[in-house]
């Protein structure tokens, strides 16, 4: 069991009171027992803390532990950052055993760095290279010639396709598929989709067409410190690799099409989808269910609100919302106007009626 | 092969005619052969039934089997409820063998109840507890300390993370991931997203930022009689568990973020997504592709139409639709107004032109 | 290493210059090295090609290889079609070994055609039938009585449920689930959803309800030449099979509900979702994140733009966009009007003020 002192070390803050007290788990003040560390990093928890059974706590900056009858405490300034350090210190490592599980199928010419663990029923293909101290979960499949850096944490049932390259400290949640084939088809004749795009939908002929596959010769290239969520999918590029920049975090069920180039330190939330060949800058933040059209360019430092659908080029620094996505202040203005729209319709009808009456028309 | 009498028992209704007739499968009247049970639970099937080869049928309330030349029939009042009972009686159990498959990897200290089946290449981690008569499909992965109740039916390739707890009669479709890590990151400085939220998008500074991970110490706690769809994902909580209440049904590709508290008897349809830390009441029904923002509260008995995007607190009993979601009648009114909008624009221009003409301006 | 001549054969075009030159990979002109084949199928690449190190290239129709200092070239007319043939010729086959991997679990009564490969840790159930020259990837699960045609390419970790039937030349990306149970529930009493639909949301009673499962007795029936994307899900039908017609291509994370009937040669892009029991015609193209309501009919040759939400019957040949989806030209008109809406509001207010002033009101 960890001590309060150890946590203080992780947080880089002094202990107020007794640092030797151990605890079973961190918990909110209202449910924390006498063996727990209460998390009360904002003054909103003050009342709950007063009636809490906890003897030790993490408190907001300026709080006085003695006021709450605590035997030990640590105060912190930025709560979410403290949460990052605290949870990092308390997180438990998966129990996948040591070394290569006897049921794993590892190609003879695959190279695994020292300290790397491979779980039960994992499959590691020819010439795969994995760095040191990586943890490869049960039932993971890593195909031929893939290269993964040091300190990877790849959870159960992830698939990493042939020739995919990934940097250091990669974290991947279960079920993600990195390196599926791109969705790219062509018809021998100009297709109805091409016609619809060219004519904005006004002239589209019918008629038979069937789809011929454009194969994906490229792979996926992922930088250092990237995370990928559960059941997310990242497709390989057609000729060059699909690219995900250093530090970018990708949430569950995100779909990243072929040929995407995504920059560094982006945050891509749950169920976001990118059609193919789009270029995304650095530090872009897309909220859940955002959709991004194909073959467009998204600049740096773009932020898009939940469920925004982006159909056009976005300049660096723009903050977007809506479907179709537009500058957030424009969208907020539009939504205000829409709330008034039924009343405006009535007012317009009144004006027209009045005009008729006065014989203006 | 089942007899008509057995089905009558499952439906709690008497047989009209010969109950000893057996059948190969249930089928719509138009495709049912002489060995099939025709399903004609509404009068709309009357014509198809007249020309059907079927000798036995399930009919709507009040129908006369002799009119259709049937040798046996059962009439039912509520068709969909009858379908539930009928399909339950006819469904076939997966063929995963008996006991623990020799290729499954089961930790020595895992405890499995009597009658529980574990399929090929499944992996069951340390101290896992599974109740009686559970069926764990091929290639399922259940990680350390997870606890699952009696009568579970967990299909192939499901992942259940460490310390997840699940009640009795759990049904889970292939590929679902229960207990991936939450998507929660923080920047050392205030992030551009926090600024965008605070200023509604009007003032956001650029500049470098990289993301520090908030680990997920909590697990997922799921009540009795819950179902989870194929490739759906449910993330663990940061400190407390993410919670899914008794009787709630979750469809394919649904994303449930960290710290969600979802109530009982909810129906969450395909591709719905919840951002983190939202609280959802009981008997909530969300149609396909609905999105729910983070940190909001959805009351009991809420219904949201397809693709609604919910950005605000929703009171119990509200029926919502649209993006952003609003009361359904307001949304329906808005959509009517929008259809008239181009015409209104024209009328407005006419009024303005007339006013100029008459010298009012 | 392939020769330029071999590629010319695949493209059905003559070599200009030296066809015996071999190359390591295809690449864009700007990154192509002296051992690479430069892809410059449009004049836009002319400048990049001039400074490229490549000695051989695929060029646009009418280009003169000597102008770019190339030793060999092929010119093509339709670039995307040429890409299909070129990438098909250069794609590499997965390295899953030959025959049945010793760790695969194949039922004694399963039948596999000649030349079929089964990867490590795959599970093939009782009475499964797979045609000739199929490649079944690692950790794939194919359940009892499923039938798959010749030349299938089924990537790692795909699940194919019991009794599913699939034609020839099936291609399936990792993690797809074909044949999960449909999401179909009923309440003993009329449910609040049924009430909300009937009353368009105006009258819905509260009160307890819990969900009874309608089991899925049907399977999924898939035609020849179908592709399914990574982590996509296709549910089985309630009584009859869910159907996907010949030549239809389905992208990543698509959700296809129970009882769908999808026609031939459709293109269903990433994250599209279909609620149950809808009928879709031939050659329908749905862009990413489109949603389709349950129990409606979509005709042939329909095209829907990104994130369209389709709530109504769609006639053959319609081109749709928006939420709710409408004819694309109507939607484009609406979006134009919406951009003017705040200004219209102001103009309306001015007219009303002027009218008050002139004493008309």
Q: What is the tens place of the pLDDT at every residue in B288-334?
A: 999 999 999 999 999 999 999 999 999 999 999 999 999 999 999 99
Nearest to A166 by CA among A230, A224, A241: A224
Residue ranges in chain B assigned as alpha helix (H): 4-11, 46-50, 79-90, 192-198, 328-357
> Mind telling me the catalytic residues of B?
258
Nearest to A216 by CA among C271, C55, C115, C171: C171
Chains that contact A by 3+ CB pairs under 8 Å? B, C
Q: What does the pLDDT read at residue A357? A: 77
CB contact under 8 A, A95 and B213: no
Chain C: nearest CA to B190, how far in angstroms?
Answer: 32
- The backbone torsions φ and ψ at residue A309, rounded to the nearest 5 degrees and listed phi first, read -120, 115
**Is C10 part of the contact surface with chain A (CB cutoff 8 Å)?**
no
Q: What does the pLDDT read at residue A199? A: 63
| DSSP labels, A249-314 | EE-TT-EE-TT-EE-SS-EE-TT-EE-TT-EE-SS-EE-TT-EE-TT-EE-TT-EE-TT-EE-S-B
Nearest residue, CB atoms, A288 vs list B215, B233, B275:
B275
CB-CB neighbours of B205 under 10 Å: 11
Mutual orientation of helices A4-11 and A79-90 as an angle, nearest 10°?
130
* CA B222 vs CA A206, B125, B165: distances in Å: 50, 19, 6
- Using the predicted structure, report yes or no on whether residue B237 has a pLDDT greater than 80: yes
Q: What does the pLDDT read at residue B355? A: 83
CA dihedral A298, A299, A304, A309 (to 10 degrees): -20
CB contact under 8 A, A87 and B238: yes
Whether the CB-CB separation of B216 and B237 falls below 8 Å is answered with yes
- The backbone torsions φ and ψ at residue C192, rounded to the nearest 5 degrees and listed phi first, read -65, -30
Nearest residue, CB atoms, A215 vs list C81, C88, C119:
C88
Chain A: nearest CA to C344, how far in angstroms?
Answer: 9
CB contact under 8 A, C233 and B252: yes
Sequence-ordered list of residues with C-beta below 8 angstroms from that of B67, at least 6 positions apart, any chain: none
Q: What does the pLDDT read at residue B120? A: 98
- Using the predicted structure, report yes or no on whether residue C138 has a pLDDT greater than 70: yes
Whether the CB-CB separation of C83 and C41 falls below 8 Å is answered with yes
What distance in Å separates the CA atoms of residue C160 and residue C165, rounded to the nearest whole number? 9
The residues in C 273-292 lying below 8 A from A, measured between CB atoms, are 283, 285, 287-289
Q: Give the pair of three-digit tokens for residue A53.
A: 């059974």
Nearest to C269 by CA among A208, A175, A273, A278: A273
Whether the CB-CB separation of C103 and A105 falls below 8 Å is answered with yes
In a 10 Å sphere around its CB, with 0-12 CB exposed, 13-18 middle and 19+ buried, how is residue A77 labelled?
exposed
What 3-state class would DSSP assign to B281? coil
Q: Give the pair of three-digit tokens for residue B242.
A: 């993410």
Prediction ipTM score: 0.94
What 3-state class would DSSP assign to A147? strand
CB contact under 8 A, B337 and A342: yes
Q: Is A255 a catalytic residue?
A: no
Nearest to C122 by CA among C94, C150, C89, C87: C94
What distance in Å separates the CA atoms of residue A64 and residue A73, rounded to the nearest whole number? 9
Nearest residue, CB atoms, C267 vs list A126, A211, A253:
A211
Chain B: nearest CA to C315, how far in angstroms?
Answer: 19
- Using the predicted structure, report yes or no on whether residue C282 has a pLDDT greater than 60: yes
CB contact under 8 A, C173 and A175: no
The residues in A 92-151 lying below 8 A from B, measured between CB atoms, are 92, 94-95, 101, 103, 119-121, 137-139
* Eight-state DSSP code of residue A22: B
Span C287-294, mean pLDDT? 98
Q: Which position among C121, C155, C215, C258 bears the catalytic label? A: C258
What distance in Å separates the CA atoms of residue A340 and residue A321, rounded to the nearest whole number? 20
* Eight-state DSSP code of residue B102: T
pLDDT band at residue B357 using 50, 70 and 90 as cut-offs = confident
Chains that contact C by 3+ CB pairs under 8 Å? A, B
**Is B204 part of the contact surface with chain A (CB cutoff 8 Å)?**
yes
Whether the CB-CB separation of B96 and B79 falls below 8 Å is answered with no
Q: Give the pair of three-digit tokens for residue A319.
A: 């903050």
Cis peptide before C324 (omega within 30 of 0): yes
List chain C residues with CB under 8 Å of A101.
Answer: none
CB-CB neighbours of C146 under 10 Å: 26
CB contact under 8 A, A293 and C283: no
Q: Give the pair of three-digit tokens for residue B262.
A: 């979802």
CB contact under 8 A, A340 and C344: no
Q: What does the pLDDT read at residue B359? A: 60
* CA B46 vs CA B86, B123, C4: distances in Å: 20, 51, 66
CB contact under 8 A, B208 and A265: yes
In a 10 Å sphere around its CB, with 0-12 CB exposed, 13-18 middle and 19+ buried, how is residue A110 labelled?
buried
Which one of B120, B136, B227 makes the best mutation probe of the C interface by having the most chain C beta carbons within 10 Å? B120
Q: What does the pLDDT read at residue B126? A: 98
CB contact under 8 A, A341 and B354: no
| DSSP labels, C276-315 | TT-EE-SS-EE-TT-EE-TT-EE-TT-EE-TT-EE-S-B-
CA closest to C171 among chain A residues: A181
Sequence-ordered list of residues with C-beta below 8 angstroms from that of B320, at least 6 positions apart, any chain: B302, B303, B304, B305, B308, B310, B314, B326, B327, B328, B331
- Using the predicted structure, report yes or no on whether residue B190 has a pLDDT greater than 90: no
Sequence-ordered list of residues with C-beta below 8 angstroms from that of B98, at least 6 positions apart, any chain: B117
Q: What does the pLDDT read at residue B209? A: 75
Nearest residue, CB atoms, B204 vs list A27, A28, A317:
A317
What distance in Å separates the CA atoms of residue C50 and residue C87, rounded to the nearest whole number? 24
The residues in B 301-360 lying below 8 A from C, measured between CB atoms, are 301, 303, 305-307, 316-317, 319, 321, 323, 327-329, 332, 335, 338, 341-342, 344-345, 348, 351-352, 355, 360
CB contact under 8 A, B288 and C273: yes
Chain A: nearest CA to B13, how far in angstroms?
Answer: 45
What distance in Å separates the CA atoms of residue A62 and residue A73, rounded to the nearest whole number? 12
CA closest to B213 among chain A residues: A84
CB-CB neighbours of B191 under 10 Å: 20
Span C190-215, mean pLDDT? 68
List chain C residues with CB under 8 Å of A354.
Answer: 355, 360-361
Q: What does the pLDDT read at residue A359? A: 60
Whether the CB-CB separation of C141 and C104 falls below 8 Å is answered with no
- Using the predicted structure, report yes or no on whether residue B361 has a pLDDT greater than 50: no
CB contact under 8 A, B319 and C204: yes
pLDDT in tens, chain A (361 residues): 899 999 999 999 999 999 999 999 999 999 999 999 999 999 999 999 999 999 999 999 999 999 999 999 999 998 999 999 999 999 999 999 999 999 999 999 999 999 999 999 999 999 999 999 999 999 999 999 999 999 999 999 999 999 999 999 999 999 999 999 999 999 877 666 666 666 655 555 555 578 999 999 999 999 999 999 999 999 999 999 999 999 999 999 999 999 999 999 999 999 999 999 999 999 999 999 999 999 999 999 999 999 999 999 999 999 999 999 999 999 999 999 999 998 899 999 999 998 887 764 4
Chain B: nearest CA to C288, how far in angstroms?
Answer: 13
CB contact under 8 A, A204 and C317: yes
The CA-based diameter of chain B, rounded to the nearest angstrom, is 93
What 3-state class would DSSP assign to C323? coil
**Residue indicated by tokens 């002319």:** C46
Whether the CB-CB separation of C328 and C309 falls below 8 Å is answered with no
- Calculate what percentage of chain C has a pLDDT beyond 70: 94
List chain B residues with CB under 8 Å of A316.
Answer: 206
**Is C79 part of the contact surface with chain A (CB cutoff 8 Å)?**
no
Chain A: nearest CA to B26, how far in angstroms?
Answer: 35
Chain A: nearest CA to C189, how far in angstroms?
Answer: 34
B193 vs C207, which has greater pLDDT? B193
């Amino acid at each position: 069991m960890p001590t309060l002192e150890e946590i203080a070390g992780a947080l880089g803050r002094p202990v107020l009171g007794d640092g030797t007290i151990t605890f079973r788990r961190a918990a909110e003040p209202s449910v924390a027992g006498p063996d727990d560390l209460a998390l009360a990093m904002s003054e909103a928890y003050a009342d709950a803390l007063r009636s809490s059974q906890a003897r030790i706590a993490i408190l907001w900056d300026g709080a006085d532990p003695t006021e709450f009858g605590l035997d030990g405490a640590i105060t912190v300034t930025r709560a979410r950052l403290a949460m990052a350090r605290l949870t990092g210190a308390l997180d438990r490592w998966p129990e996948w055993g040591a070394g290569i599980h006897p049921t794993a199928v590892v190609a003879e010419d695959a190279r695994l760095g020292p300290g790397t663990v491979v779980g039960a029923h994992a499959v590691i293909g020819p010439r795969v290279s994995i760095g040191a101290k990586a943890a490869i979960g049960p039932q993971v499949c890593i195909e031929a010639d893939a290269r993964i850096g040091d300190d990877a944490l790849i959870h159960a049932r992830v698939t990493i396709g042939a020739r995919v390259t990934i940097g250091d400290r990669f974290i991947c949640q279960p079920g993600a598929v990195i390196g599926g084939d791109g969705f790219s088809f062509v018809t021998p004749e100009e297709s109805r989709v091409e016609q619809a795009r060219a004519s904005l939908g006004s002239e589209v002929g019918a008629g038979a067409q069937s789809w011929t596959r454009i194969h994906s010769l490229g792979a996926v290239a992922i930088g250092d410190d990237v995370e990928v969520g559960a059941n997310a999918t990242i497709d390989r590029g057609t000729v060059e690799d699909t690219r995900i920049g250093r530090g970018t975090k990708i949430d569950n069920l995100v779909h990243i099409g072929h040929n995407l180039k995504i920059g560094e330190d982006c945050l891509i939330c749950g169920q976001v989808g990118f059609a193919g060949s789009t270029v995304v800058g650095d530090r872009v933040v897309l909220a859940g269910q955002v959709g991004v059209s194909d073959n467009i360019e998204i600049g740096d430092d773009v932020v898009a609100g939940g469920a925004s659908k982006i159909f056009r080029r976005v300049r660096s620094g723009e903050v977007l919302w809506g479907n179709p996505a537009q500058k957030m202040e424009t969208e907020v203005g539009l939504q205000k106007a829409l709330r008034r729209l039924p009343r405006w319709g009535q007012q317009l009808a009144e004006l027209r009626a009045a005009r008729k009456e006065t014989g203006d028309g």
